[in-house]
Chains A and B, each alone.
Chain A
Amino acid sequence: QSVLTQPPSVSAAPGQKVTISCSGSSSNIGNNYVSWYQQLPGTAPKLLIYDIHKRPSGIPDRFSGSKSGTSATLGITGLQTGDEADYYCGTWDSSLSAVVFGGGTKLTVL
């Protein structure tokens, strides 16, 4: 059971938009920055979003992040088949004194 809660799966058609939620508490998302990672099949995770909404160099602006209270959201627009992957949210948890992740969301582009 992960500290952060994500939907197990989401799906949408190519070109459409999808959002992935990440729910936590005041000890983690509520008082800390959130990051998001993309893990393509058989590969290592890749940083997509940090500090809630910032994108590393090379990450297209189709990917966006936001936070409200104790929940965060990853948005992906203009979906491509290459976006099919597992997506994870992560943050610091001050009660656990540990970095915590969501259980991951599998994105299917139909």
Chain B
Amino acid sequence: EVQLVESGGGLVQPGGSLRLSCAASGFTFSSYWMNWVRQAPGKGLEWVANIKQDGSEKYYVNSVKGRFTISRDNAKNSLYLQMNSLRAEDTAVYYCARDPIIAARPLYYFDYWGQGTLVTVSS
């Protein structure tokens, strides 16, 4: 059974940093593109970033470029999101999500999602 379990969320002050983790199991983690998608309270979904199977390619939504870094450790079946210079508008539930294809290019949809971890940026 495919499982994605996020952790690392919490309350952080504006300008602060936080590192999110996503533990994957039930599939060959190293074969898939992985993503972070967020959802502000009461709002819609926003794609944040994705990373290629070997970590050689990473892409970000404009609003987080230069502040967030996506990474992965295939030996630990884990996905990460390092978030720096956090702003109030980064407050959201952050989901880890899998792109379904085992290929060089992603399909840009998500077949499995974690339960999410809440990040609150507030003083």
Contacts and interface: CB of A to CB of B under 8 A. Distances in A.
B95 A35 contact: no
Contacts of B110: 35, 37, 45, 47
Interface in A59-103: 88, 90-92, 96-103
A84 to B, nearest CB: 17
Interface residues of A, number: 25
A17 interface: no
A51 to B, nearest CB: 8
A46 B47 contact: no
Interface residues of B, number: 22
Contacts, number: 60
B109 A33 contact: yes
A100 B108 CA distance: 9
Contacts of B62: 96, 98
Grouping DSSP codes into helix (H, G, I), strand (E, B) and loop, the A interface class, with mixed when no group exceeds half, is strand
Contacts of A27: none
B109 A102 contact: no
Interface of A: 2, 32-33, 35, 37, 43-47, 50, 56, 88, 90-92, 96-104
27 contacts: A2-B44, A32-B108, A35-B109, A35-B110, A37-B110, A44-B95, A44-B113, A44-B114, A45-B37, A45-B110, A45-B113, A47-B109, A47-B112, A50-B109, A88-B44, A90-B108, A91-B108, A92-B108, A96-B62, A98-B47, A98-B62, A99-B35, A99-B50, A100-B47, A101-B46, A104-B44, A104-B45
